[in-house]
Each structure stands twice: as C-alpha cells, then as structure tokens.
A and B are shown apart, each in its own frame.
Chain A
Amino acid sequence: MVGALGILAAETAGAPAHADVSWFVRSAWLVPLLPFLAAGLILFLGKRSPGGGAPWGIGAVGASFVLSLGVLWHVVQGGAAYEASIPWFAIGPLHVEAGILIDGLAAVMLVVVTSISLMVQVYSLGYMHADQRFTWFYVVLSLFTAAMLVVVVSNNVVQLLVGWEIMGVCSYLLIGHWWEEHENSSAAIKAFITTRIGDVPMIFGFFALIAATGFATANIRETTHAIAEGGEVSTAFLAIAALLLFGGTIGKSAQFPLHVWLPDAMAGPTPVSALIHAATMVAAGVYLVGRLFEVFVAADPAVLTTVSVVAAITMLGAALLAIAQDDIKRVLAYSTLSQLAYMVAGLSLGEEGFTAGFFHLFTHAFFKALLFLAAGSVIHAVHSNSMREMGGLRGSMPVTFRTMLIGALALAGVVPLAGFWSKDELLVVAYDTGTTWLFWLFLATAVVTALYTTRMIVLTFFGSYRGQGHPHESPPSMAGPLVALAAATAVVGFLGAPQLGAVFGKWVYVGHPHEAHVVPWIAVLSTAGALAGIAVGWLVYRDARGVDPLAARLGPLWRVLERRYYIDDLYMAAVVLPVRDRLSAAVVWVDRHVIDGAVNGAAWVTRGLARLVAWVDRHVVDGAVNGLGGLTGSSGGLLRYLQSGNVQWYAVMLFVGVIALTVVFIRIV
C-alpha cells in the first residue's frame, strides 16, 4: 500500500523506459490502493456516510475492476511483463523495494479478485443490511481486497508477506464477525493459528530466497533466479526451501494436513465465505506456488511429487467428506478444499500443468463464488444452514435455483460450463505427462464431486420444503450478482476451450505459451464420469426426507466421515489441549517453584546469614564484652530490622559487598 504510494512518486518522476506500456499497466499500483483508501474512509467516515459507507467500498473496488480489465487488455494484446519499484527500506545489505510485477498471471488474478469482490460487496448490501456491524463489515472487506491485491501485484516477497498476513487477519476478523457466539470466535482463532503454522515455514522459505542472493534483495524474479540457478546453493538447500515455501500453500489453501480450519471458517457471514474462503484468499496459496514456480521446477523432482501427494490426499479425502455434510456451506467448504487440491495437483505437473492449474483457479473462482452466494441466498430465506430444513425451494426461489444449478453443473464438470473445460485440461495434462495415477484420481474425484453436488441440489431444491416459515426469493441486490456470476460461469470456460483457440494459455504460462489440445476419449470419459455421479446422486437422494440414505448403508464408515476422519479430534487432544493447558501450566510451575524458588531461596539464605551474623554479634562479640545474659529482650529489634526486608539496609550491604568484590576482582584479573 505504501509501496504503491511510493511508486506514484516514481512514476510522476517519469519512466520513459516503459513508454510503450499502457497506462493501465503502469498504474496497476492503483488497483490495491483504491480499496485500501476506501477501507480507511469507511472506518473513519462510514457511519456518517450514506449507505453506511458501503458505496465507498463498492465504488473503489469497481474502479479497481475497470483498471484490472485495462491491465488484462495489455496482456491479451500480447504485452510483455512489466515491473516497477521504488526503494522501501534498507537494513544492512538488504535493500527491500516496494513494487509491482505485472504479467499474465497477475493480470488474470487482478480481474478475478476485483470482479468477485465487486459482486460480493454488492450482494452484501442485501445480505448484511440488517447487521449491526454493517459498516465495519465493509471496512474489513475493503481491507481484505486491498491486501489480496497487494499479494497479487507484489514484485518482492517482503511486500507479498505483508499483504499475505493482512489477508489472514481480515479472514480472522470476518470469520469472527459475529463474535457474540463462542463457536464463531473459536473458528476465527483456529483459522488464524492453523494458517500461521503454515506461514512460519513459508517465511523461512523466503529467508532462503533472500539468503540465496547474499541478503541483497527480496525481489521475486532475482531471488527465484538466484536460487534456481544454483551457484552457491546446494540441491538439498533448494529442495528444503521449496518445501518450506509450500508450507504457506498448505496453510492458506487449506491442504492436508492443515485443512482443518476452512470448514470451521464457514462460521463467518456467507459473502465472506464466497470471497475469502472460496474464490480468492484460499487461492493465494496456489498463486504463491505459481509466483515462485522457478524454485519448484528447479528443485529435486521429489518436491513436486510431494506436492502431488499432498494434493491427491486432499482432493479425494475432502470430496468424500463433502458427501456427509448436512450444513450446505460445509458441503461447499469441503468442495473448495478438493478443488484447490485440483489446482495444486495441476501445478505439481510442472510447466504443462501450470496453465491448467491456474485455468481451474480462474473458473473455480466464478462458479464457487456463485455457489456460495446462492447458498447464502437460500440461508437468507430459510434462516438455517441445515439442508434438513430446506427442500423444495425450486418453486419459491426460481432465480436462486437456476443460477445455483448452473454453478453446480459447472462444479460437476458438465459441458459446456466453466468447470468442464478446466477439469478436462487437467486430465489431459496428467495424461500427457504420464502421471497416470493422478489422472485416475482426478477422474475418481470428479465422480464424487458430481455425486455430492447433486446431493446438495436435490436436498435443497427438490422434494418438499422441510423448514419453518415461507421462504421467498432474495432482493435484487443479491439476485443480481447471482445472475452475473452465472453468466460468467457459463462463458469463462471458453477462454480455455481448445476448439476456440484456448486463449487463456497465451496469457498464463511459463516457458512458452500453453497449447491446449483436445483428446476426445478423455472428454467423453470425464463427461461420463460426471453423468454417472449425477445419476447416482439423483437415484439415492430424490426421495430423501431428512435422514441421509447413505448413512444407514455406509454404517461406521459414515461415522468416520462425520467425524472428519477424526483429524480435528486428534489435533485437539494431541496438540491444542496439551500445549494450551498442560505444557503452559508446567512452565508456570517451573517459573514459580524452580526459578523464582531459587531467587527466594537465595533471599532466604541471605537473611539466614544476616541472622547468623547478628547472633554472632550478640552472643560472641557482645557476650565477650558484656558477659552473658540480659540481652535477649533487646535483640529482637535488630532481627526484625533484618527480616523486614528493608531496602536501604540491603543496599548498604550490597554496596559494601561491591567494594570488597572490586578489590578482589581487580587483583585477580
């Protein structure tokens, strides 16, 4: 943010070297700056502004969206990558800059973040209109958007880290937005701490990058180049650095084993889930790998294999969990885990998978935001998250139904919606690169995805209504964004359609532009898989009434799914409670009894010595002078004097000690 301010200064000074670059690209620093200024404006003036400050936020992100389109246009026209920076601060040899790095990847991400944020902010006008902290909600939403955009445009890892962590704190604030409920604030803490567990290794990975340049710079291109080129860096160092960096992805993108926070994060308002916990922030982990891709490619192949394995576990494991959820948002949350894993797995396939992974990030952002906002519309109408209290809403909420159906079909991978194209591309790349096991896993997960998606749609919109009251369609401020996102979901897939030239691969790639191609049998197979999943879902759930038919059939396995494989229970019992309650108590015990015990013991010994001296003084010295007897009565005063802890007395004693010690000390040294 301040970085952006600085670039303003640099730009006004004139940058003729980039005269051929469009104004939009040179002004890309404005994209994060506008929402940031809006956040400050709403914070201080929001309550006194019309609309509770929300128009500021919407206006700012709207302007950022337009600017982002301008930036993307530069990329579409085949413009080169652009980097600009100004000095931020220096510490010893390390010169940290504030700057922007705009390439195809960044440009696409800018459009994704600003467009989804715009939709979500408009939608929140309706969804949050009665909220007592409406203005504050818009402050944090705007701040989050700014932070995410800082991450996207950063040309160095220090600035990226600043945006990264501010996103994290905004996520914390928004998950805990309704902090009156203990459950919500606990979910917020869980999210912050779990992601931080991933962030710490990532920061160490950044250190490795910086160290590879001899602590000279934190610039992304220079550091990744320095570490990937080798030089002084050993292969082991490189591999460890890459794995450490991946820690950030595991945390932020909620991959196994740090996935546990995301389902709980559904405690936040639904627009937040759509923006932060589906479309943008959680995708930042994937973006991180993409930004630092050179490191991962140059490292030992075992690193990318590890990435594949983590993604594979998350992909199928989370998809299975989605089947057993009753809370509609949790179905979508596990779906998000699974879909993020698709992206990560795509990147793990190397340069070919890079484009496919990011294409899936791109399409997923639209259809998953759509699904969440549609789910929010349903929740808004029935006042419950539980699908037991939904059903039959097809008639009463036609707009929500139709748009959510489009989102669901896209998620299930039905042609020609967005999800089909990106999933198909991932399958093709897995096949082309000979990663057969991942190919079949993609396919298997796609079947499960179609199954749980169908289950969700059926339980929500078909059958008869099981909840309270008379649900009705949401207001235009909410329905409008649904329609817009549904339209996007219907068309964005074509950007990667090989039949239409797959232009996405010309924008986002490493090495050389990505050439997508059609493998007919794969397209047929994936469509068959999706249809199979849908068919099974329809057959199992079309007559479901409250109780899940699979629960009885799966028996104990269902229980395992309901308990999320017992992973959360394990963390609670093996890490959280022992550290929070027992280890901390042990430390305090040591502090009080061992360390302070030694201190108080020393004081006790000193007092004892003083008493001894007094006794000697009284009985031996005085005794010799005055003879025995008759002194016991008057000696108490001195004793009390010593025991009372009189400071002046101690001070005198210590000062005498100093002089004595000084003499000794000087003699010996």
Chain B
Amino acid sequence: MTWENSAITITTLLPLVGALVIALVPKGQDRLIRGLGVAVTGVALVLAAAIAVGFDYAAPGLQYVLDVRWIDAIDARYHVGIDGISMPLYVLTFLLSFLCAIYTWRYLPSPGRPKAFVALMLLLETGMAGTFVAFDLILFFVFWELVLVPMYFLIGIWGSDNREYAAIKFFLFTLFGSIFMLLGFLAMYFRSEPHTFDILELQAFAQAGGFSRGFQVVVFGAVALGLAVKVPMWPLHTWLPDAHTEAPTIGSVLLAGIMLKMGTYGFVRIALPLLPDAASAYAPWIGLLAAIAIVYAALACLAQRDLKRLIAFSSVGHMGFVMLGIATMTEIGIQAAIFGMVAHGVITGMLFFCVGSIYDRYHTRQIAEIGGGMLQKMPKLGSTFAYVAIASLGLPGLAGFWGEVMALLASFRPNETLGLDPGLFRVFMVMGGIGTILTAGYFLWMLQRVNMGVLPDRWREAPLADTLAIEWVSWTPLLALILVLGLYPRLVFGMTDEPVAALMSLFGG
C-alpha cells in the first residue's frame, strides 16, 4: 500500500466510512452529526486536492492506479485510477459535497433527522466520486447505481409538497435507463475476447476492430439510453424539473452540480472510446437532440413561474451545449464539453444555493409572489444571485462562457474525417446561438422580476435577513471559482488537453 495506489480508494471511500460512523452516533447528537459531516467531507476534499496537486499533468494515461481482483466469477476487477478528464469532475465532487455539508450546518429541511440526512449525503458523495474513477464497467455501474438510492431518499423524505411523485419518477426513469446500459455492458463483456469488463482492455479490443459495426450500433444505443437519461438529453428530461423542484437545496445542488455530469462523462469515458464506429454514426443525432434541447429548454424557461423549476429547466439547455460539444467529435468540442460540465456544476450548483436561500426567506418559490425588489431588502443576496445568473447566461470573463462558445466553435467544423456534415452542424450552431439569446432573455427577465422593482408591501415588515455568514462560507469558493475559471480557463483546459487528444487519436485523428 502506497499513497500512489491507495489515494483514490481512501479518498473515494472515506465518505462511506463516515456514513457508517454517523450511523453509530446516537440520534440526539445533532451538532456532532453535522460537524462530522463537515469534517469528513473536508478531509476528503483535502485528500482530493492532494491527488490533484500530486498529479503529473504532462504524463499520458492513468495515474494513482489500483487494479486488483474483485469478483472473480464474472471477471470484474477493482480498477480505479484518474486522468485529466476525471480530475476536474472528481475534485468538483468533493468541493460541492463539502460546501453542502457546511450549508447543512444551518439548513436542514423538514422533517429534520440529521443523522439520516448527513449519512445519505456522504453515501451520495462516495457514489458520485467513484463513478469518475472507476475503470471497470461493473465497478462503474455499482457506483452509478449507488447514487440512486440516497438521492431517492433525499428527494422523497426531505423534499417539498410533491416529493413522492418526483422521487419515484426520478428513480424509475434512471433505473429504466441504467438497465439498458447494463445490458450494453454485458454485451460488451460477452463479445470481448477474453471476456472482460475492464474499460482500458475493452478500449484496446475495440481499437483492434473486435466489435463489429452492427454490434456497436445496437450496444451504443443501449448504453447511450442509460447515459442520456442521466444527462438528461431531450426528450428524456422530464424527470429533472420535477426532481429538482422537489429536492431539498443540497439535493438540487448535488444533482445539478455532479450527478448530471455522470451521464455526459459516461459518453466521453465509455461510449465514445469503446464503441467508436457507432459513436460517429450516432453523432449527428446526438447533435440534433442537443440543439433541440438548447432552444427548447430556453423557451420552457421563459414560461416558468417557479424559480427553482426555471433553474432546473436551464440545466437541460446547458447540458445541451455539453452534448453538442461531444457530438462534434473534435478535440475542441470534447474539451468544451468537459469545461461545460465543470462550469455548469459550479454555476448551477450556486444558483440552487441561491434559490434555496431565497425560499428560506420568502417561503415561496413563485416569482409572482416574491414580486421583485429583493435588491432593496437583501442587497447582498440579490447581487450574488444576479452575479451567478449572469455567469449562467454565458458572459465572457465568467465560467459559463468557455464551454458554450467552444462547443459552438467546434460545431463550425465537426470531425469531417468521421463523416460528420459541417452544414448540418452549422445548423446546430445557429440553434445554439439562438439559444444563447433566449437564455439571456429568460435570466434577465427573471432578475427583473425577482431582484428589481420596488419591494411589495407584504414583505416590507417581513424578517428577510440578508446573506448569512454560514452562507458566505459555503458560497465564496464557488463565487470565486466562477471568476477564476472565467479568466483563466487553462485551469481546466490544461488538464483535459492531453487525455482528450489521446481519446481522439482512437478515431484516427
């Protein structure tokens, strides 16, 4: 056991251990439980940061690898490691979880029960983090499904009025998709020679032409279905607004911030390299769905009356840009996609924090009931909200810009050697451009109706407290990151450049 080969395991599983420890703490110890949550996620974040610092960004391939026997009966191995594609998402997982734990120090939605809440949150953290470092399909699937259960309970127990419908819908939708994904994994296992679930071995097998085109097309369809539900791609997105709207604040933050990226990450890590021929064949269709999602979600946002539902729908559009980047099958497009994932995680996570705190003050999420003038009563919260919303509409200089503009740039000339039609992708590009205009429209209109204007009389005497110290603590890292990523995109592009180039070399270019 060295740090090199055990770092990932320790870091990833630490929250799981934390959850078990919390299970042993007596129920009444509320502060202790929440404190443990902060401590465990904090230590995990430090470990993840240590991994990121110790990582050699110039070297190709995986680092911090541990590859040992796990379930011999099905040749499943415990194979974990990390590269520049995983790194930003892995670190973001620990950062957002830590900030959620801090936020939970003050905010615990009804019906309380901190023990279960914190334990589930930690369980979720392990599941999400594990997904980004698993290099065995079964291990990947275990982490993938592990996420489902805690999120189901977080929505179903701590959610708002329509929580049960939303939780069941979320669970079934995702499970429905995962089943097809698992089928695809099994098919690859049985078709590979020798049978393996190892992602790198399957990749090599696929490179050697092991999977026929027909096989790839069928299996890609199955795997992509599972991933697409998670992203979510249009028209499989309808679970998302319900889940987000009903989920407690930290549920929404983690759902938007990390969980959606599991789907897009799966495309980059599994679907593309393992099934390259099919990926090229499906790319125009993925691009089409992505472009539709961008415009469709923006239009839907214009009609939303519920603040949280509006932000939820905006995620569908932003993930559309991520998928559009992937669909171009170019280095620029895929790097843009990874940047977009990180940026969306930071920005939309932060937006859900804001909306959660707004709800905490007003006890309503209806834009009409809030009625404007928030800047008068709560200038700090209002300014923060405006800053993040403007970041989300893709203002250059802030994080939201690079993923979107680079995805559009990639669409200008998709990978023509793979037979992608530039004319078609330029249509997608124009749709994306229209989407950015509509996005600016709905965000600014939202700010006008929530932030600006005169405070309605009903709130004049209400005890609406401006941003609290604990909120500043949990938000400042994200607010700073939005600016830093915006001004210095190399922070992410520097990580993804090498591995994405390696990925694209699988496609002969």
Contact = CB atoms under 8 A, between A and B. Distances in A.
Interface of A: 1-2, 88-94, 161-162, 164-166, 169, 172, 176, 179-180, 182, 185-186, 188-189, 192-193, 196-197, 200-201, 203-204, 207-208, 210-211, 215, 579-580, 583-585, 587-588, 591, 595-596, 599, 603, 645, 647, 650-651, 654-655, 657-658, 661-662, 665-666, 669
Q: Which of B237, B304, B409 has the most CB of A within 10 A?
A: B409
A170 B433 CA distance: 21
Contacts of A172: 444
Contacts of A603: 172
B117 interface: no
Given A200-B436, A658-B182, A189 B489 contact: no
A89 B501 contact: no
B70 interface: no
A169 B408 CA distance: 21
B49 interface: no
Interface of B: 152, 164, 167-169, 171-173, 175-176, 179, 182-183, 186-187, 190-191, 215, 218-219, 222, 235, 237-239, 296, 299-304, 330-332, 335-336, 373, 375-376, 390, 395-397, 401, 405-406, 408-409, 412-413, 429-430, 433-434, 436-438, 440-441, 444-445, 448, 451-454, 487-490, 493-494, 497, 500-501
Contacts of A90: 490, 493, 497
Contact of A92 (B219, B238, B303, B335): B335
A215 B509 CA distance: 15
Contact of A666 (B187, B409, B487): B187
A207 B409 contact: yes
A180 B332 contact: no
A93 B331 contact: yes
Given A185-B453, A203-B408, A599-B173, 7 more contacts: A90-B493, A162-B401, A182-B448, A193-B441, A197-B437, A211-B413, A661-B183
A203 B186 CA distance: 45
B187 A665 contact: yes
B302 A192 contact: no
A186 B448 contact: yes
23 contacts: A88-B490, A90-B497, A91-B331, A92-B330, A92-B335, A161-B405, A179-B375, A180-B454, A192-B440, A193-B444, A200-B433, A207-B408, A207-B429, A211-B413, A587-B300, A588-B304, A595-B238, A599-B169, A647-B172, A650-B168, A651-B171, A654-B172, A654-B176
B452 A210 contact: no
Given A91-B335, A647-B168, A669-B191, A658 B183 contact: yes
Nearest to A646: B168
A591 B433 contact: no
Contacts of B237: 595
Contact of A211 (B412, B430, B433, B489): B412
Contacts of B453: 179-180, 182, 185
A632 B441 CA distance: 59
Contacts of B490: 88-90
A89 B401 CA distance: 14
A654 B238 contact: no
A215 B332 contact: yes
Q: Which of B303, B373, B436 has the most CB of A within 10 A?
A: B303
A596 B238 contact: yes
Nearest to B434: A200
B303 A587 contact: yes
Contacts of B331: 91-93
Contacts of B173: 599
A440 B356 CA distance: 62
A-B pairs, top 6 by smallest CB distance, nearest first, are A92-B331, A584-B302, A584-B303, A179-B452, A89-B490, A162-B396
Contacts of B303: 584-585, 587-588
Main secondary structure of the interface of A (DSSP, over half): helix
B329 to A, nearest CB: 12
A204 B433 contact: yes
A158 to B, nearest CB: 8
A666 B397 contact: no
Contacts of A580: 302, 441, 445
Q: Which of A166, A186, A587, A650 has the most CB of B within 10 A?
A: A587
B179 A669 contact: no
B375 to A, nearest CB: 7
Contacts of B215: 669
Nearest to B235: A595
A599 B238 contact: yes
Nearest to A206: B409
Contacts of A165: 395-397, 401
Contacts of B412: 204, 207-208, 211
A161 B396 contact: yes
Contacts of A655: 179
A196 B171 contact: no
A89 B493 contact: yes
A656 to B, nearest CB: 11
B390 A169 contact: yes
A583 B409 CA distance: 28
A194 B146 CA distance: 47
A594 to B, nearest CB: 9
Contacts of B437: 193, 196-197, 200
B437 to A, nearest CB: 5
Contacts of A662: 182-183, 186
Given A166-B395, A179-B375, A669 B488 contact: no
Given A91-B493, A207-B412, A654-B175, A1 B487 contact: yes
Contact of B186 (A207, A585, A666): A666
A595 B292 CA distance: 14
A164 B396 CA distance: 9
B299 A579 contact: yes
B405 A203 contact: yes
Contacts of B336: 91
B394 to A, nearest CB: 9
Contacts of B171: 647, 650-651
B397 to A, nearest CB: 5
A169 B413 contact: no
A211 B416 CA distance: 13
A185 B449 CA distance: 10
Nearest to A147: B397
Given A189-B448, A204-B429, A662-B183, A91 B497 contact: yes
Contact of B497 (A1, A92, A599): A92
Contacts of A161: 396, 405
A290 to B, nearest CB: 21
B472 to A, nearest CB: 13
A169 B391 CA distance: 11
